[in-house]
Amino acid sequence: MGSNGNDLHILFFPHMAQGHMLPLVDMAKLFAARGARITILTTPANAKIIRPTIDDSIYLHIIPFPSTDFGLPQGCENQSSTLTGNQRMNFFKAVDSLRDPFDAVLRDLCPDCVITDMFLPWTYYVATARGIPRLVFHGMNNFALCANDAFERCRLVVEEAESFVLPDLPHQIRMLRTQIMDFEKLAGTPMEFLLEKHKEIIEVDTKNYGTVINSFYELEPEYADHYRKVMGRRAWNVGPVSLCNHEMTGKLLRGGEQSTSVSECLKWLDEKPMSSVVYVCFGSGGFFSLAQLRQMALGLEASTHSFIWVVRNGDDNWIPEGYEERIKGKGMMIKGWAPQLLILNHTAVGGFVTHCGWNSSLEGICAGLPMVTWPLFAEQFYNEKLLVEVLKVGVEVGSKVYEFNPEIRPILEAASVEAAVRNLMGEGEEADERRRRANVLGETARRAIEKGGSSDNDIEKLMQELINLRKQNFPQLLLQLDLLLKQGYLQSQLQVQGHMNRLVEETTTPRWRLARRRKAPVRRQEAPKAEAMRERENPSFEQTKCGMRISGYAA
């Protein structure tokens, strides 16, 4: 790919939640590093999180977020700031209200492609109306996408079964029914909005131009092939995207402000023997009851292994009496956000207790670490199966129930936590083989994103395909112009000749986009200022940053 990526312009629109936003921003960096022109669309509060992590080569386009219009506190622009089911419902409604602003951005910037989160399914319709291909980012791996599809196809058969095998997958994967979300049961509850969102996501999933996946082919080759060849999806594996953060600064800034000083954390780790520390973290959505936190604390202590444990800020009444004194020097508790990439890649860390969110799981894989798996909800139980049964780098703690609400989630006793950590960090042939496999995967992950690696090649292939797609659309536009002329919508051939000449000169980067709207007379007018651009009742030729565009014509 040329140094300027043939001026390919990609617009990224992440869902406003930490676990969705961070990997898509990292992905944007990978495309920018290969010459694409990148715009990230976000809101003011989220821009403050993103801006320190990107350089001047990436453009941040900010649109207002209507928090108060939907009963949310002023400045509540990220899903991690919502605390109740009702707040989450209102948050998703506020996100859905961004449809018109998104359309205005496409009209003004006219990108060659949009890459948007699965929780923004309406972006497919808006982009398609503008003639712009939409790639979806699910935030999941190939295995989870394949497993979810398999379950949807056998849902009615296994509705009441205690356990079942997911059909037609490369491996025999047995699941408990309690480990999989039943969206239909959300009807009539404060979480019903997720049922509707699930239906919307499924409806457009096969219509998208394709899928970009934060994974690499060598990690799950059977499932990458299954997703493409058996399920018939167009997909590009472009990860691990977190490896774009080569420098320490990138690792520090990713995710937010740390509550414990980095120097204090690293100094503590520097004093520990190699591979002796367990890192315990459950992501931005990993809530637990106070009773479960107590059992977790006691289990970690009883394991006798050193640990760093990231817990949420809040009520400390769950901490057992004398606990912090007893673990002094042996355990470190970080309340709030932690520099996860730095911790995982420190030589003193030898294991990772994770909720199996895909971002964290893949970061653990990149660090070459075996993991204790403690899934809570979403696709995390699928990820556990991948880590434990397919990749064989995980140890189950015993979580069996998919449940959002931590207060009614079954409690795992301290003994289960202790046993899992001892198994992970212990000696013996099984533990050694798990560590060996994890180390190999870590090395393979790093090679995948390097020049000539499988993910690097997929990024290059996708960029070239988008450039070719733009070239293919060029003749179609000429035909549309000719049709408009013949039907009398243009005054003369001379009216468009200047624009045609410009297009011919830019055959490698034609900057036209046809916006399909109702059929009506077309007139040419001077471009309004960007800040004043609004939807017009009458169709027109518009001069924008990406050249002349026809609007107001329906084929």
Based on the residue annotation, tell me whether 15 is a catalytic residue of this protein.
Answer: no
Q: Is the separation of the CB atoms in 163 and 175 below 8 Å?
A: yes
Residue 317 near residue 326, CB atoms below 8 Å: no
Q: How far is CA 549 from the centre of its chain?
A: 32
- Scan for tokens 């001047």, then name that residue: 56
Long-range contacts: 56-61, Cβ < 8 Å, 24+?
Answer: 57/32, 58/28, 58/29, 58/32, 61/11, 61/105, 61/109
- Reply yes or no on whether 138 is catalytic: no
User: Residue 280 — φ and ψ, nearest 5°?
Assistant: -120, 115
C-alpha 475/C-alpha 236 separation (Å) is: 27
The rounded distance, in Å, linking the Cα atoms of 346 and 196 is: 43
Q: Are 277 and 305 in contact (CB under 8 A)?
A: yes
493: left (phi over 0), alpha (psi -120 to 50) or beta: alpha
What whole-number distance in Å separates Cα of residue 118 and Cα of residue 350? 34
**Is residue 467 exposed (0-12), middle (13-18) or buried (19+ Cβ within 10 Å)?**
buried
The single residue of 20, 138, 226, 305 carrying the catalytic annotation is 20
Contact status, residue 320 vs residue 240, Cβ threshold 8 Å: no
Query: Mapping DSSP to helix (H, G, I), strand (E, B) and coil, where does residue 49 land?
Result: helix
Helix (H) or strand (E) holding 275: none
Decide: 114 and 196 in contact? Cβ < 8 Å.
Answer: no
CB of 211 within 8 A of CB of 381? no
In this structure, how many other beta carbons lie within 10 angstroms of the beta carbon of residue 471?
13
Do strands 540-544 and 547-550 pair parallel, antiparallel, or not at all (unpaired)? antiparallel
What is the rounded distance in angstroms from the CA atom of residue 176 to the CA atom of residue 167? 14
163-165/174-176 β-pairing: antiparallel
In one-letter notation, the amino acid at residue 188 is G
- Nearest-CA neighbor of 145 among 65, 63, 208? 208
Q: Which of 26, 103, 112, 117 is catalytic?
A: 117
CA distance 283 to 312: 10
Determine contact, residues 553/517, Cβ cutoff 8 Å.
yes
DSSP string across 390-402: IS--EEE------
**Which residues make beta-bridge pairs with 547?**
544
Tell me the C-alpha distance between 418 and 488, whole Å: 79
List CB contacts of 310: < 8 A, sequence separation 6 or more. Answer: 280, 281, 282, 334, 336, 337, 338, 340
Catalytic residues: 20, 117
